Structure 1
Amino acid sequence: RAMTKDNNLLGKFELTGIPPAPRGVPQIEVTFDIDANGILNVSAVDKSTGKENKITITNDKGRLSKEDIERMVQEAEKHKAEDEKQRDKVSSKNSLESYAFNMKATVEDEKLQGKINDEDKQKILDKCNEIINWLDKNQTAEKEEFEHQQKELEKVCNPIITKLYQSAGGMPGGMPGGFPGGGAPPSGGASSGPTIEEVD
């Protein structure tokens, strides 16, 4: 199922000691591995620090009966369309949030000092802050609303970033601040930025 609350809890662990960083910057790699005996090993690694934690779920922990499994499979099928809609909505929200924070980080990066004029920088910061405030108040908005807000943000950011990219001669080494696109000018698509999946 798309949401954590609709699934069966097998176990939990914490990954601690991750240094503070802007939202969207930390990258956590989570690996699921099931061996031939049905034992599940889950590990999480913070790519920047190498810090890791893991948990082993044996087949007798949180085990479901055959009837429980069949019931959950039927429920998943019954709510398939609803789950897909929820997944799409969360994906759109995360895409907008990630894009807004990435754009803020880009124009505030020290590497851009003197390369972007104050007026353009402030335009992007003002719009990003407006979007972030909107997100805080509209966490349960519909997919179309998140997509509309992202298009409005891109209308402000894309021309400025494209101009900046062109005037810098392609910005060797890519754009700073984790700019979506890895050094290429913005495409204007809703897929810009890293994919962050919210599980609850």
Structure 2
Amino acid sequence: MTLMTQTFTTYSDNQPGVLVQVTKDNNLLGKFELSGIPPAPRGVPQIEVTFDIDANGILNVSAADKSTGKENKITITNDKGRLSREDIERMVQEADRYKVEDDLQREKIAAKNSLESFAFNMKTSVQDDNLKGKIGEDEKMKVVEKCDQAIAWLENNQLAEKDEYEHQLKELEKVCNPIITKLYQGGTGSCGDQARSSAGSSTQGPTIEEVD
């Protein structure tokens, strides 16, 4: 008997279920859904998928939500669909490879969210009525225009890479941070801190693809 387990998660907020597909040589052997996953931020649920193959080559694949214990499974019994130990090991290796790819995708989305949150929060901060008379119109417009440029860039570059998002954030910080630092020098806080805090909070929680 061969038993192998892999843990997956959700790729979107409040995702209610996942689809598990079993393939061999690009041929679909079977699929099933695990539904009823409690609403949660993406990346939080833990879905444990188990591959269990017996001495006769019959494969049982199960998926269970660790928080609720809800489970669903499928049995592959036809001769054509039976998988060897090597097949199962290959499937798990592929799952590991996809996990690495998912981690990279998650990092890219986190970088994108950081830029987006920083731009929106910084723009809102400098336009706050409480800053009237504390920041010059020229400086305020400089920040707003740079934030608008970053937001426009985001809209036109939805498929950019992680380093591109990070570069845009650094360029935005170069303009915004000196103005905000000067404004609040010696104070108890800064709009920059607020914007960065908001940006950080919006990216918590990993993002990886749906179980497939």
Settle same-fold status: TM greater than 0.5.
Answer: yes
* Aligned-partner residue type, residue 10 of structure 1: L
Give distance in 2, aligned partners of 1:32 and 1:145.
30
Larger strand percent: 2
Q: What SS class does the counterpart of residue 130 from structure 1 fall into?
A: helix
Superposed CA deviations along residues 83-141 of structure 1, whole A, max 9, x for unmatched, are 33222211211111111111112112222122111111111110001100100110101
Give distance in 2, aligned partners of 1:105 and 1:98.
11
Give distance in 2, aligned partners of 1:90 and 1:155.
22
Alignment of 1:22-171 (within 5 A): 32=45, 40-41=66-67, 58-60=70-72, 63=73, 73-166=92-185, 169-170=186-187
Q: What SS class does the counterpart of residue 34 from structure 2 fall into?
A: coil
TM-score by length of 2: 0.57
Give distance in 2, aligned partners of 1:175 and 1:13.
40
Q: CA RMSD in A?
A: 4.0
1:179/1:64 CA distance change after superposition, 3 Å:
farther
Aligned residues: 157
1:112/1:7 CA distance change after superposition, 3 Å:
farther
* Aligned-partner residue type, residue 101 of structure 2: E
Give distance in 1, aligned partners of 2:191 and 2:110.
24
- Pair member with larger Rg: 2
Give distance in 1, aligned partners of 2:195 and 2:199.
5
| Unmatched tracts of structure 1, length 5 or more | 16-27, 42-55, 183-190
1:30/1:81 CA distance change after superposition, 3 Å:
closer
1:149/1:138 CA distance change after superposition, 3 Å:
same
Residue in structure 1 matching 2:11, options 4, 11, 14? 4
TM-score by length of 1: 0.60
- State percent identity of aligned pairs: 46
Give distance in 1, aligned partners of 2:37 and 2:192.
31
Question: Are 2:118 and 2:199, in contact at CA under 8 Å, matched by a contact in 1?
Answer: yes
* Aligned-partner residue type, residue 157 of structure 1: C
Alignment of 1:166-181 (within 5 A): 166=185, 169-170=186-187, 172=188, 174-175=189-190, 179-180=194-195
| Unmatched tracts of structure 2, length 5 or more | 1-7, 13-17, 21-32, 48-63, 77-82
